[in-house]
Amino acid sequence: MRADATRNREAILRAAEDLLAAHGAEHVSLDRVAAAAGVGKGTVFRRFGSRTGLFQELLAERAEALARAVGTAGSPLGPGAPPRARLLAFLDELAGLAERNLALFAAHERACAEDKYADPTYVRWHGHVAALVGEARPGLDASFAAHALLGLFDADLVGHVIAEGGVTRLRSSVRGFAEALLG
Amino acid sequence: MRADATRNREAILRAAEDLLAAHGAEHVSLDRVAAAAGVGKGTVFRRFGSRTGLFQELLAERAEALARAVGTAGSPLGPGAPPRARLLAFLDELAGLAERNLALFAAHERACAEDKYADPTYVRWHGHVAALVGEARPGLDASFAAHALLGLFDADLVGHVIAEGGVTRLRSSVRGFAEALLG
DNA sequence: CAGACAAGCGGACCGTCGGTCCGCATATCC
DNA sequence: GGATATGCGGACCGACGGTCCGCTTGTCTG
């Protein structure tokens, strides 16, 4: 990749972030992103393929730290921890991530509406959660339960809960729900 | 309302149904609906206000029988039945409804993406489920849990589960999930 | 440093969509 | 049968995601 291409790529990602933060997820069109990045529209599409691709990449970037934490032993998130605690810790992290990136979650959701199960980040999360559910609560349809648990971070729901009680409420509601489910 | 207006209204609803059944939820634009109904586009908007309104109305129509069943005593769905059984029965009905109207659920979801909590049918379902959860499992955030349980009928998830194991799998996964949650 | 070539760029352009508007038609009522 | 409001249709609009192609510019070679 040419140096200017790398620079533009970064500029586009940062512009998308800024627009998401400034206006809602609804008002971030690719024309706007391109303009804000000081770049032609074609460049956005060449780099990211589509609106979907852009937001997938952005989410992947924001989810990277979590993915690393999940992979490294030592924390309650990492391998070695008991499945139930590991799952609860993961969901708690996800709650934080969703709160900090609410607009991005919303935009990502909209963009991936067709075939959300094709999103790499979602797939990774789902695999992780399903595996832990399978260990922590055998007998359940683990894949189904994992989709349901990830559904807790639907942007509308998160926004609604946060509007009423902030992240604290979200975290405790999620935890309460998961604990009830896991028995 | 004038007689022709009533007729057109019905024609539009039926045309929307047919198109949903024939092509996926994705390919049902209001132009198409209008054309299929043998009606001008303006008429669709005068009757239903917006795409959202049309699909809300269609869903309300399909959900009417369920609403009636919930309101009348005698069945496991109706008042008087023990909350836990009542909730499980309601979710089971919802699974059937979702399966029979998958395309409609998908279209409705898309159309109500902004502010899904404003949809009258969703609000009614949520109130019902939250009340039952509150009775059957005190201590949970009932409103949150109700949103989560209704999230089980996300069109993508339903479609995914049904593709693998039909309605049977959906029903049993939903039931298993709800039973685990309620303890 | 020069020249050649690929890689990248930008923005005009396209089809589609949800939604609006207004001049015309027609059901309804007296 | 005439008056009136209710309803109708479809041309029109702005915004959007996505494409395309002629021009530019970074990079690599000698």
pLDDT tens column, A132-151: 999 999 999 999 999 999 99
Check if the beta carbon of residue B152 is closer than 8 Å to that of residue A152. no
Q: Which of A58, A20, A16, A12 is nearest to A38 (CA)?
A: A12
Q: Which of B58, B136, B131, B132 is nearest to B101 (CA)?
A: B58
Q: Which of A64, A48, A58, A60 is nearest to A13 (CA)?
A: A58
CB atoms within 10 A of CB B164: 12
Joined tokens for residue B141: 């955030």
Radius of gyration in angstroms for the set of CA atoms belonging to chain A, rounded to a whole number? 18
> Measured between CA atoms, how close is B62 to chain A, in angstroms?
24
Give the model's pLDDT for residue B138: 97
pTM: 0.97
Instruction: Provide long-range contacts, Cβ within 8 A and 24+ apart, for A110-118.
Output: A110/A25, A110/B113, A111/A51, A111/A52, A111/A54, A111/A55, A111/A56, A112/A52, A112/A55, A112/A56, A113/B110, A113/B113, A114/B26, A115/B156, A116/B156, A117/B156, A117/B160
Give, for all 183 residues of chain B, the pLDDT tens digit: 999 999 999 999 999 999 999 999 999 999 999 999 999 999 999 999 999 999 999 999 999 999 999 999 999 999 999 999 999 999 999 999 999 999 999 999 999 999 999 999 999 999 999 999 999 999 999 999 999 999 999 999 999 999 999 999 999 999 999 999 999
What amino acid occupies position A138? P
How far apart, in whole angstroms, are the C-alpha atoms of residue B121 and residue A122?
29
Check if the beta carbon of residue A109 is closer than 8 Å to that of residue B112. no
How far apart, in whole angstroms, are the C-alpha atoms of residue B141 and residue A82?
26
- 3-class state of residue B77 by DSSP: coil
For A110-139, what is each residue's pLDDT tens digit?
999 999 999 999 999 999 999 999 999 999
Measured between alpha carbons, how far is residue A122 from residues A116, B51, B102, B105 in Å?
Answer: 8, 29, 22, 22
Give the model's pLDDT for residue A86: 98
How far apart, in whole angstroms, are the C-alpha atoms of residue B117 and residue B98?
18
Confidence of residue A28 (pLDDT cuts 50, 70, 90): very high
- Is B51 within 7 A of strand C by CB distance? yes
Site from B119, B169, B181 to mutate, A interface, most A CB atoms within 10 angstroms: B181
Q: Which of residues 20-79 of A touch strand D (CB under 7 A)?
A: 27, 29-32, 41-42, 45-46, 50-52
Identify the H or E element spanning B71: helix B51-71
Give the model's pLDDT for residue B145: 98
A137 contact residues in B (CB cutoff 8 A): 180
Query: Which residue of B116, B117, B180 is in closest CB contact with A140?
Result: B180
Give the model's pLDDT for residue B16: 98
Rounded mean pLDDT of A60-65? 98
Give the model's pLDDT for residue A111: 97
Check if the beta carbon of residue A91 is closer than 8 Å to that of residue A176. no
Confidence of residue A29 (pLDDT cuts 50, 70, 90): very high
Contact across the interface for B176 and A141, Cβ inside 8 Å: yes
A173 contact residues in B (CB cutoff 8 A): 141, 144
Measured CA to C1', what is the nucleotide nearest A40?
A: C10
